[in-house]
Amino acid sequence: MSDDQIKSALKNAITETLENLAFIQLIEIEGPRLSDLGTDFLQDMLSVYLPMKHEYGILVMSASGGILKETACNIFALDPGAEPGEDIIKDTLAEILNTVSGQFMRLITPGDQFYELGLPVIGAFNLNGSNGAEVKCAFETESGDRLLISYIKISDSSNQ
């Protein structure tokens, strides 16, 4: 699968998830950089596996606090001015990435093959030395909050 096809699948998965799950419209922006998020952001990482082909990848999502708060309020039917707690924000981030990952993998996995999702891990990640092919997408909401998502494809070296 080409990088353009992977990027298209990644864009579709994230935009459909946030539109359908949280009623948030995303606008794609150029130049996806972590520094675009400022200091108020969280990261989440999840591994995805294509066991039939012995390949796996990593999805990393970084989202500003504003988009996570808005998503949490919409998902949990909180008042728009509510301040969701840290646990709710982390649960929201993990749920978004889990849902995006499932949609993304359905789009890139042939129908006759299976895929697996790992568990979301919230933290700070520096994957610059991963040696995998990386596809990045960046988005912004109407209020200027930002979200970055990356897919890093890594082949199993024992199969090469």
If one compares 45 and 54, the residue with the highest pLDDT of the two is 45
pLDDT for position 155: 66
Closest CA to 33 of 149, 154, 114: 149
Query: Parallel, antiparallel, or unpaired for β 55-64 and 41-50?
Result: antiparallel
b/e map of 97-127 (b: 16 or more CB within 10 Å)? Answer: bbbbbbbbbebbbeeeeebebeebebeebee
Q: Under DSSP, is residue 126 helix (H, G, I), strand (E, B) or coil? A: coil
Instruction: Report yes or no on whether pTM surpasses 0.75.
Output: yes
Does domain 3-159 fall under CATH 3.40.1550.10? My reply is yes
pLDDT at 149 over 60: yes
If one compares 111 and 6, the residue with the highest pLDDT of the two is 6
